[in-house]
Structures are given as C-alpha cells and as structure tokens.
Structure 1
C-alpha cells in the first residue's frame, strides 16, 4: 500500500503497487481530503468511477490542475478540459447535451486530433496530426461508424494509405504508397475481408508480387518478380495452402526449380 500527499498534508492518492505498477483500486482525493474518484485497474483496462455530480476539479500531486468540468451521472458533460502537468491543455471537450467538438493536443501545444461528435459518437470529419503540425490522418464517420475515404500520410506529407470504409468496416479499394510517392500495394476488401487481386511494388515502382484472394484466403495463381521485372516464382494456392506445381526462375528467366505440393505439404522438389 502506498500514500501520496498534497503540500498541505492532506492525502492525494492511495493504492497498491506490484512490480511498480498500480493494481486493484486506486483512490484519488481533493485538497480537502474528500474522495473524488477511484480507479479499478484490470488486466488491460482502467475503470474510472467519479463519485460526485456537478462541478469537478482534479489536481496533480503538485497542486496544478489536472482536469476540470462538470459531471452528470458520473459522465463528463458539456465543457471539459484536461491538462498536461506543464499547464498546456491535453484535450478540450466542448459539448452541448453530448454534441460538439473534442480536440486533443500534444504537450507542445500543437493539435494532435480533432473530431465532431453527435450524442458522444464521432460524426463527420476526424483529423489527426503529427507533433510537427503535419497532417497524419483524415477519416469520416457517421454515428460512430467509419464511412467513406480514409487517408494516412507520412510525416513528410507524402500519402501513405487510402482506403474505403463502409459502416465501420474496410470495404472497397485499399492502396499503399512508399515514402517516395511510388505505389506499394493495391488490394480490395468486402466487409473487412480481403477479396480479389493483390499487387505489390518495390520503391522503384517495379511490380514484385501478384496474388488472389477469395473470402479472405489465398486462392489461385501467385506470381513473384525479380527487381528487373523477370518472373521469380509461379505457384498456386488453395484455401491459403500452396498446391500443385510451383516453378522458380532466375533473373534471366531460366527455370531453376520445381516444387510439388499436396494439401500445403511439399512432396517433391526438382532442381535444374
């Protein structure tokens, strides 16, 4: 069991530590010694329970403001602000009856993300930024579910990924790019499941792989290429398992090996 105190001698926090990590329940107090919340530490989550409705003020151990706002039925309501220990806002919630804008900040004051919510659910455009101020992600939401075009950028501003979403699931074209702007891959999804063709390119723009998916599983012909564009491997998949005859070629197009598969198992190999 440990105890922390404010400068005025009143208890700030008490709880248990195991391997220098909080376990079980941690209690937080205000500067008058009254409990204002407790947190239940579970394996992968922390459940915070706020004890009093109305105006709420919570401070760091050093007395600086940690967060303030208003609670209704134990939930952050309307306007709410949480601060870093240096005094910069960490996030600002501007709600009216559960609808409004939430903005997150880096410790240097730059905006890290911003979203609009309706009934506390993301609705409309959501943006994320890198700490240097460059745009990182843009997505679109309807009633808490991702829809439409998603875009992800490298920190240098180059486009990294574009993907189509529908009702919270990846649905449609999915493209990746290398940092130099050349395409890296192209494939397709239906309700979060990979379908159809998949193509991959190296940083120089040379096609290096072609595969096919059926209901999330590799099926049909698979082709790999050398960096000079010559075919490296031709093979076949069935339900994610290699089957049939696989042929390997050197970068001059000469056949150098054959492999024979049954039910995903290599049963024979010939070298030339």
Structure 2
C-alpha cells in the first residue's frame, strides 16, 4: 500500500483521541493541524486509543516519522527523518515503564525505588516534565532550519534506551541513553563540523563524574567533576 492509498484510508477513519490523557476536542484539533502538514497512517484503535504502527510522510517516497503506539503511548523505537532522507532523531520509549512508574508514584515512599518516582514524590512536576514530548525533543538542532522542529503525535512518553539527534547532513549532534525516564550513562554532544563539543556521564538524570568540553576546533576548554548527586565539585579551565 503506497502513501496515497494510506491517506485515503485514514481519511475515512474517525479522528479519535491519540493522546493517553487528553480531551477529545484538543486531540482532534492537534491531529488535524499535524495531518495538514504531514499525511499520516494512523494505527487501529484498541479501547478507543491508537494501538500499532504510526507513520507520516514528507513526500510519497520519504518518511517523516515512524514508531509504535501502545494504547496511545509510544513504545520501542521512534525515528524521524529530514525531507532530504537524512536521519533526524532516534528515540526509544517504554509504555510499560510509563504506567509502572506512574503507579509507583502513588505508593507509600517506603515502597518507591525508581529514581524518577522518588524525585516525583518530592516534586510532582518531575514526572510531568520527564514524560512530556517537548522535553524529549527539545535538543533537536533548530538553527535556521524550520525542518528541525518536531510535533509528536502523542502527549505522554517515557524515554528508555538509545537517544540520538542528527544534523540535516546526517552528522550526529548528540547521543546517549535514558533509563526509566532519566538520562543515565555515557553522553556525548558534537559540533556541526563533527568535532566533539562535550562528553561525560549521567546518573539518575544528573551529570556525574568527569565532563570535558571542547571548542569548535576540538581543543579542550574545561574539565568538570560532579558528585553522584549532580553537584559540581571542581572545574578547571584551559586556554
């Protein structure tokens, strides 16, 4: 089935809520606005929510984004492309962990172990921020390229796994990993000329250990050391 056939199929489908928690009016408005810009294939409904593969296109031959929705929540790999065919981003989400942590937050603090849930017990906005799509796609390279902007076809998500952004020429902008909604492990960002901008590690969403930053030519600018809780311990600058 080609794009035109898919679009024809979608046009016959009633626009139902594709956000896990959202009003029907808001959902229809947001979906119609996005559909005008990027023709898309909506997955079938399960319990009134999209459940399956979602795809949208720049053109008949070039995908704009693709991923799987589990009852309206992205699950597994979610990829996006520029109109020139170069990769734009790669994300990994977990619908299971989204619901698991959401339920964990409701428990007594003595029975909460996930770092994000513990953080949300102290600050209720922590979970909202971590699961908002705009937070997951905020690091796309915008510059003067309107293509870099991205509107996700879902309202809630929980990052878990590989995270990558790309410049429009295909070069990697940054890469790292999320664990249960928070950055965790090795992380690296790069300049648009391919040189490393910064490299270091995260623990439970906070910078940890040694972080190095470099200038546009690849020369070391600074070395910073962070505690396990993300507090800056020391920093040395280089000429």
Whether TM-score is above 0.5 comes out as yes
Q: Give 2:223's aligned residue.
A: 210
Q: Give 1:184's aligned residue.
A: 197
**SS of aligned partner of 2:194:** coil
Measured after TM superposition, the shift of residue 185 of structure 1 is 0.5
Measured after TM superposition, the shift of residue 107 of structure 1 is 7.4
Q: Give 1:105's aligned residue.
A: 57
Larger relative contact order (CA 8 Å, sep ≥ 6): 2
**SS of aligned partner of 2:14:** strand
CA distance in 2, matches of 1:186, 1:204: 15
Measured after TM superposition, the shift of residue 68 of structure 1 is 5.2
CA distance in 1, matches of 2:35, 2:174: 32
CA distance in 2, matches of 1:187, 1:193: 11
**Candidates 151, 161, 166, aligned match of 1:148:** 161
CA distance in 2, matches of 1:190, 1:177: 20
CA distance in 2, matches of 1:95, 1:115: 14
Once the two structures are superposed, residues 59-106 of structure 1 have per-residue CA deviations (whole angstroms, 9 ceiling, x without a partner) of xxxxxxx96522568858xxx98742xxx7533212242311122334
Q: Give 1:70's aligned residue.
A: 14
Q: Give 2:71's aligned residue.
A: 119
CA distance in 2, matches of 1:128, 1:164: 17
Q: Give 2:233's aligned residue.
A: 219
Q: From the superposition, tell whether residues 89 and 189 of structure 1 become closer, same or farther in structure 2 (CA, over 3 Å).
A: closer
**SS of aligned partner of 2:170:** coil
Contact 2:38 2:64 in 1 (8 A): no
Q: Give 1:92's aligned residue.
A: 41
Structure (1 or 2) with the larger CA radius of gyration:
1
CA distance in 2, matches of 1:107, 1:71: 22
**Candidates 188, 210, 216, aligned match of 1:197:** 210
Measured after TM superposition, the shift of residue 204 of structure 1 is 2.0
Aligned Cα root-mean-square deviation (Å): 3.0
Measured after TM superposition, the shift of residue 156 of structure 1 is 0.8
Q: Give 1:229's aligned residue.
A: none
Q: Which runs of 5+ in 2 are unaligned?
A: 1-9, 18-22, 96-156
The structure where helix makes up a greater share of residues is 2
CA distance in 2, matches of 1:117, 1:172: 26
